[in-house]
Structure 1
Amino acid sequence: MIGSTLLLAALTGLTTLSSAAPTPYTTKRGASGKRGLAFGKGNADKTALFAGEASWGYNWEAQLLPGLASGVEYVPMLHDDQTVFTSGFAAFAKGLIEGGTSKHILSINEPDQTETGGACMDIGRTVNAHKAHIQPLADAYPDVKIGSPSVTNGGGEMGLTYLKNFLAACHGCRIDFVCPHWYNGGDIEAFKTYMRNFHTETGKPLWISEWAAPGGDVQFMKDAIKWMDETDFVYRYAYMSVDSTLTAGSALTALGAAYASA
């Protein structure tokens, strides 16, 4: 997918955006607190392999199954507006928030994506779903931080363009951070440029909820982690993913070992 750069001026005053960066959530070992884990449903137990290095995790849904490592925050996500995801979303999220497990909420996953894994929703549907299911939680729990829909790095009407159109249309929505994805090769300077532009165009902290090193490029992973850990406007990030690349069975892969120790 290709990154894109587009205007933001039209957004000014059209949606309610929080300007303050969220409060950091530190790990047990006092690292940056940014590193997270994207794991498949039923694989929460694998988070123990990253104990002390990951402060949070998610599985693209709101329901948390047993096995999450101690000290790891679980972050519920509303994957899309299908009943299978919306029917229990509020109850799961409220239980996690009130139980002290969750301090953040993630919105729709890749509504701009029409292929496998993406929600494939137009702006209107995405705004309606966010207002119906995410904004009520923002209103009820003002200390919980709320994310934008996660978008691809696709060009045209996808990616950053899609997100800015969402922000312009979601009147009265509280958005504390925005969520870009990166699957656009292993050029670390291109990665940095894209993320800087995403931050500049939205004026919000970045929660990079999916990114990947092409071909398991360990050096790109390490360079990206170093930059994200040192960059103030990058709030959190999660490599894609615990199940597909970072572990093999119950053991870390070489890439997973790098993610756990970089």
Structure 2
Amino acid sequence: MKLFAVVSLAALVAGLPTSGDTPKTLSARANDVPFGNKKGLAYNDGNAIRALSRPGSATWAYNWGPALDAPAFQGIPMCWGATGECNANGIMAKIDRGDTPWVLGYNEPDMNRDQGGCNLRPSQAYDAWGNDMFKFQQRGARLVCPAISSYDTANSQFTGYASGLTWLRQFAYYRNNPWEFRCDAQALHWYGVEGRSGRDQAYLFIDYMNRAHALGSPIRSIYGRAFA
């Protein structure tokens, strides 16, 4: 879901601890954030978010595109959709200038376009991913897998196919190809559960992050990119 407010909060959440963790993996996770700060912003107008660049606040930002116009922040570019819906030239320019260590993948492929998603089946996203994203990886950027919604179902009322973690699982294991060679981090959106208390929402969010992390390796980072 594309957020049309000027600013929304985003965060890079280090991979959640597991029973198999060692001091080495925990240390790697703690440092696996852009520019030493987990807090970032989503924006439409780069100049409008200057006031939020105070010390100790957010240090990076994204705008569902190449993120070229937020001078007070480190812009993290996004390849919004498959093939022609990705500004590859703008993203490559940022990588070649050394301006970004990450490239964000497709935005909510499990949602319809009128809801802000790029609307791709897991198989479609998988087949397009190499052509769209591997060239950035070859230039040294790390890839963030497609950002899913939190509507986890095998048959979404919005698209007719999988959504949420079910979509992510089908994408990750399509053709039984290990996904750790395709993505360096996971991207998740969280919209909560209507009618639940704040305490319940917090527990549900933590459970959501744990279940997402269980899909990947124990040192993979998680981008919690949109909250509502």
- TM-score (norm: length of structure 2): 0.71
| Residue among 177, 183, 198 paired with 2:191 | 183
Q: 1:126 to 1:175 in 2, by over 3 A?
A: same
Matched letter for residue 152 of structure 1: S
Q: 1:23 to 1:155 in 2, by over 3 A?
A: closer
* Distance in 2 separating the partners of 1:210 and 1:147: 14
| 2:95/2:139 contact within 8 Å kept | no
Residue 136 of structure 2 corresponds to residue 137 of structure 1:
yes
- Residue 44 of structure 1 is matched in structure 2 by 46
Q: 1:80 to 1:192 in 2, by over 3 A?
A: same
* Distance in 2 separating the partners of 1:210 and 1:99: 27
- Residue 227 of structure 1 is matched in structure 2 by none
- Residue 62 of structure 1 is matched in structure 2 by 66
Q: Deviations over 1:138-175 (max 9, x none)?
A: 1232xx22100000111212111111111112747431
| 1:164/1:202 contact within 8 Å kept | no
Number of aligned residues: 178
CA displacement at 1:45 relative to structure 2:
1.0
CA displacement at 1:63 relative to structure 2:
5.1
1:208 match: secondary structure: strand
- Residue 13 of structure 2 is matched in structure 1 by none
RMSD: 2.1
Matched letter for residue 73 of structure 1: Q
2:34 match: secondary structure: coil
* Distance in 2 separating the partners of 1:124 and 1:138: 21
| 2:60/2:76 contact within 8 Å kept | yes
* Distance in 1 separating the partners of 2:186 and 2:100: 18
Instruction: List alignment gaps of at least 5 residues for structure 1.
Output: 1-19, 28-32, 213-262
Residue 101 of structure 2 corresponds to residue 103 of structure 1:
yes
Moved more, 154-163 or 56-65: 56-65
Matched letter for residue 183 of structure 1: Y
CA displacement at 1:99 relative to structure 2:
1.4
- Residue 76 of structure 1 is matched in structure 2 by 77
- TM-score (norm: length of structure 1): 0.62
1:202 match: secondary structure: coil
Matched letter for residue 163 of structure 1: L
CA displacement at 1:82 relative to structure 2:
5.8
| 2:77/2:91 contact within 8 Å kept | yes
1:148 match: secondary structure: strand
* Distance in 1 separating the partners of 2:71 and 2:169: 34
Matched letter for residue 190 of structure 2: W
- List aligned pairs for 1:224-243, cutoff 5 A: none
CA displacement at 1:109 relative to structure 2:
0.4
Matched letter for residue 209 of structure 1: R
Percent same amino acid at aligned positions? 24
1:181 match: secondary structure: strand
* Distance in 2 separating the partners of 1:68 and 1:46: 11
| Residue among 155, 161, 167 paired with 2:172 | 167
* Distance in 2 separating the partners of 1:175 and 1:200: 15
* Distance in 2 separating the partners of 1:126 and 1:197: 21
| 2:76/2:102 contact within 8 Å kept | yes
* Distance in 2 separating the partners of 1:101 and 1:139: 15
